[in-house]
Amino acid sequence: MGHPAVDPREFLDGLRDRYRELQWEPLPPDTARHYEEHEQTRSRAALAYLHEHWALPDRFDPESGAGGPRGAVLGLFGRLTYRVLGPRLREERELLAHMVRVCAALEGRCDELTQRIQQLNQDVTDRQVAEARNLADLSVWLHRQPWADAARRGGESVAEGGPGPTA
Amino acid sequence: MTAGTGDGGSSPRVAVVMTPHWESASEEGWITRQVAGALATVADVHVVTPEGTSAGVSTDSVFTLHRLGTPIDPVSEISRDLLLEGMVGTASVGLASASGLVALSTRGLLAPWDGAAGVLAALSPEVVVIAGTDTLGARRAVDRYDPTAHVVLLALDGHRSHGAHRGDGGDGPGTSGDLVTRSRSVLVVTEDEGMGLPGDPAGTGVVVRRIGAPLSASPSARTEPNTWVGDTGYILVLTDVAEEADNEPAALARLLRLRFPDPPVGIVHSDAFCAWHRGRVTRGWAVERTSDLHRLMAWARVTVDLRPGRLFARRCVDSLLFGTPIVVPADSRGREHAERGRGGLWFSDPAELTWCVDALLDTRAHDAFALQGRAYAEEEYGSTDAFVDRVLAGCGLPAVDVRHVAG
C-alpha cells in the first residue's frame, strides 16, 4: 500500500503523551506592517480634464471677431478689455493652476488613505482570527487543567499514604 | 423478484419481517428494509407492522405489506426509550425492581401486535425476522402462532453507547433478553452492537452474526466539489443541530472553526451549511440530499461526525468509502469504524478533538488512515452480494447463485 499500518489506539496514546503538558500563552502583539504603495486603477478622467482645461484665455483672439467695420470695433474693444483685465486674468490662471495641483495631491492622498484603511481592516481581521484561535487553545488548556490537577493531587495522596518513599 | 422454493420444490419460501415501523428514515428503518430486500432474493417476503389507520394488505416494491391498523402509541415508545437510556448508565438493576421496570418498559407496546398471530398462521412462514430487541409484542404474537417457529432477531440495538452495557432489567419472560434467547440467531450490523446483547446469547447457544450493510461510494460525488468549499482540503463537521443551537455539538463545531482558521471548515447544521475560512463565513442552504453530503465527504480532508448514527454510524462508513478519515465521539457507534476499521480517531473531550483533527491534517497520518479506512469499509460494507449472503446465512436460508439463475 506504500504506507505503514497505523494502529489508531497507539496513535491516540501517542497524541495524549505529546499533549500531556499543555502549554498556553497570550499572543505577542504583532508589529505593525509597513504601508505598501499600490497603484490605483480607478478612472482619472475628471482630473485629466482639469489638467487639460485649467488655462483659460488671457488675451483677445482677433480671429474670433467678425470682419469689416463691425469687426474692427469689436477687436478694439476686445483688446482694450483684455488689456484692462489682464493682470486679474493672469492671477486667476495662477489660482486655477494651484487648485488643479491641490486636487491632484488630494486624490493621491485619498488613494493612500484608502489603501491604508484596507490594510488596517485586514490586519484587524487577521488579528481577530489569531486571537480566536489562541482563545480556543486556552479553552482546551483550561478544560484539561482541572483534570491534570486532580490527577496530580491523586498521585500525591497515594504517594503520601503509600509504603514507598515519597519524592 | 427471485423467490426461491422450499425443500419440496413447489411452494415458494415465505419469510416474514415484523417491524414496529416500516417506512422509517432512521438507520434502523433503513437496515430493516435492506434485510427484507436480501430475503426477497430467495423468498416471498411479507412485512407485518402495527402501523396504519386500518388493517389491510398492500404491495410495496417486492414486499407484501400487512398493516395491522393498531399503531403503537408514540408516548409508550418514548417512555421505553427514556427508561432504557436511564438504565444504560446504571451499573446493575436489582431483581426486585426488574419486574417493575419490565412492566413499565412494555406498557402499551404489546397489545398493538395482537393481530399478527393470525397473519402468521395464514402465511406459515419458514422464517420470522423480528426487527428490534424491544419488539416484545412481535415475539408474543409468534409464540401464539407457533412456539417452535424459526425466529431470527434483527437486533437494531442502538440504545447502548460504545462499551456500555444495557442492563435491561433481567432475562426473565417478557424482557429483551428473553427475546434474544428465543431466537435461533441474532443479526447485528456492527461488532459493538453484538457485544453485551441482553440475555447472554453466547451462553444460551444463540448465534450472533454481523451482517454489515450494503453501502457504496458514488463515483459521481468525485466529479465536482461543492461550490462553497471547493477543493480546498477542508474539515467537514457534521452536527445535526441548528446553527444557533446551544448544546455540545454546536459548541464543539464552534471550537473547531475557531481553532482551525486556515483550512476551511465546512459545518453541516440542520438548518444551514456554513463554510468558515480565516474568520469569515459563507452560508449556504441546508444539506438535505444524501448525494450532496457524499460530495462534501468525497472532497473533505477529514470528516468530524459529532453525532454519528446510533445504530451503525452510517455517515462514518460513507466517509471511509470515499477515503476520508473520521473523528468521532469515543462513546459512539462510529468508534468501531475508527478503531477496528483503523479509519480514524475518537475523542473523549474537546482537547482530544482538536488533537485528533490536527493530527489527521498531517499528510502522512491522513493517507495512512484513509487507506486503512477505505479498505475496511469496502471489505465489510461495500458489497451488496456479500451482505445478502450474510443475511441469508444468518437466517438459515440457502443463498441463490444469481449468475447461475440468470444463465
Q: Is B369 an interface residue toward A (CB < 8 Å)?
A: yes
φ, ψ of residue A134 in degrees (nearest 5): -65, -35
Of the candidates B407, B389, B396, the residue with the CA atom closest to the CA atom of residue B41: B389
Q: Is B365 an interface residue toward A (CB < 8 Å)?
A: yes
Q: Which long-range contacts (CB under 8 A, 24 or more apart) does B204-209 make?
A: B204/B180, B206/B180, B206/B181, B207/B394, B209/B185, B209/B390, B209/B393, B209/B394
Chain A hits for B338, Cβ within 8 Å: 8
Determine the residue of chain B that is closest to A131 in CA distance: B258
pLDDT digits (tens, 9 = 90+) for A144-161: 766 556 665 665 554 444
CB B49 within 8 A of CB B20: yes
Q: Is A137 an interface residue toward B (CB < 8 Å)?
A: yes
Chain A hits for B368, Cβ within 8 Å: 3-6
φ, ψ of residue A76 in degrees (nearest 5): -60, -50
| CB nearest to B279's CB, from A22, A132, A137 | A132
pTM for this one? 0.76
The one-digit pLDDT tens for each residue of chain A (167 residues) are 456 689 999 999 999 888 877 777 777 766 556 555 555 545 578 788 888 888 877 777 777 666 788 888 888 888 888 888 888 888 988 899 999 899 889 888 998 999 999 888 888 888 888 888 888 888 887 777 665 566 656 655 544 444 333 32
Q: What is the DSSP letter of B12?
A: B
φ, ψ of residue A92 in degrees (nearest 5): -60, -40
A-B interface: how many C-beta pairs under 8 angstroms?
Answer: 77
pLDDT digits (tens, 9 = 90+) for B174-212: 566 677 878 889 999 999 888 867 766 767 778 899 999
The number of angstroms, rounded, from the C-alpha of B124 to the middle of its chain's C-alpha atoms is 29
Residue A69 CB partners (closer than 8 Å, separation 6+): none
Whole-angstrom CA distances from B308 to B3, B253, B297, B329, B332 are: 36, 14, 14, 8, 7
ipTM above 0.95, yes or no: no
d(CA B140, CA B174): 8
Q: Is A143 an interface residue toward B (CB < 8 Å)?
A: yes
Does the distance separating the beta carbons of A8 and B338 come in below 8 Å? yes
Chain B hits for A3, Cβ within 8 Å: 364, 367-368, 371
CB B327 within 8 A of CB B303: yes
Which set of grid coordinates corresponds to residue A105? Answer: 495631491
d(CA B246, CA B116): 44
Reduced to 3 states (helix: H, G, I; strand: E, B; else coil), residue B87 is helix
Chain A nearest-CA distance from B343, in A, is 8
- Between β-strands B14-18 and B56-60, what pairing exists: parallel, antiparallel or unpaired? unpaired
Chain B hits for A135, Cβ within 8 Å: 258
d(CA B45, CA B39): 7
Q: How is the beta sheet containing B302-305 ordered, strand by strand?
A: B280-284, B273-277, B265-268, B235-238, B302-305, B326-329, B344-347
Chain A nearest-CA distance from B386, in A, is 24
Q: Which of residues 21-60 of A touch B (CB under 8 A)?
A: 22
